[in-house]
């Protein structure tokens, strides 16, 4: 079953669940709309990888909004965003642990023979494609910087 088909099936299930499935239904509808908008923009149906990119973007938007809501002292909004992220994560591939990312970064640093923080571009260029959809980009960036600085 493709991601698009799964989203449609899960949306129907959430509709049947009435009150219990309201948040889930809302998140799935927003995600399907984002996928449809991207399809309109590129002028064709998206493939699985492109749909994963849309899902990743939706998660990132919510993660980026959390600190703003925390600053505004809106704990309910923060909690809602976290629950929305949890729904979206069900559609993304299994996420890499921090240790797995560190291991990958160290392996790539050895491959490209990176010496200093100046080589961050080389390392990120190799690491990002391998972690796309599997790890938060901000976390990957922080790990690369810390390993290159000799902190890990």
Q: Mind listing the pLDDT tens digit for each residue in 65-119?
A: 999 999 999 999 999 999 999 999 999 888 888 888 888 988 888 888 887 788 8
d(CA 20, CA 133) in angstroms, rounded, equals: 28
pTM, full prediction: 0.76
Both tokens of residue 69? 């809501």
pLDDT (tens digit, 9 = 90+) per residue, 25-59? Answer: 999 999 999 999 999 999 999 998 899 889 989 99
Contact 102, 152 (CB under 8 A): yes
User: What pLDDT, on the 0 to 100 scale, is given for residue 9?
Assistant: 93
Please report the domains of the chain, with CATH numbers, ordered by start residue: 3-89 (1.10.1510.10), 98-148 (1.10.10.410)
User: What pLDDT, on the 0 to 100 scale, is given for residue 119?
Assistant: 81
pLDDT range class, residue 6, cuts 50, 70, 90: very high
Contact 35, 53 (CB under 8 A): no
């Amino acid at each position: 079953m493709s991601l698009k088909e799964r989203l449609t099936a899960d949306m129907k299930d959430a509709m049947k669940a009435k009150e219990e499935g309201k948040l889930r239904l809302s998140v799935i509808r927003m995600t399907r709309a984002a996928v449809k908008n991207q399809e309109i923009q590129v002028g064709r149906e998206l493939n699985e990888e492109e749909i994963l990119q849309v899902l990743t973007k939706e998660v990132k938007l919510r993660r980026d909004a959390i600190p703003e809501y925390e600053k505004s002292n809106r704990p309910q909004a923060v909690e809602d965003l976290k629950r929305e992220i949890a729904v979206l994560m069900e559609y993304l591939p299994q996420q890499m642990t921090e240790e797995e990312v560190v291991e990958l970064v160290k392996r790539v640093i050895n491959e490209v023979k990176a010496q200093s923080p100046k080589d961050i571009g080389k390392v990120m260029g190799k690491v990002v494609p391998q972690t796309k959809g599997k790890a938060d980009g901000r976390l990957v960036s922080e790990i690369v910087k810390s390993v290159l600085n000799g902190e890990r």
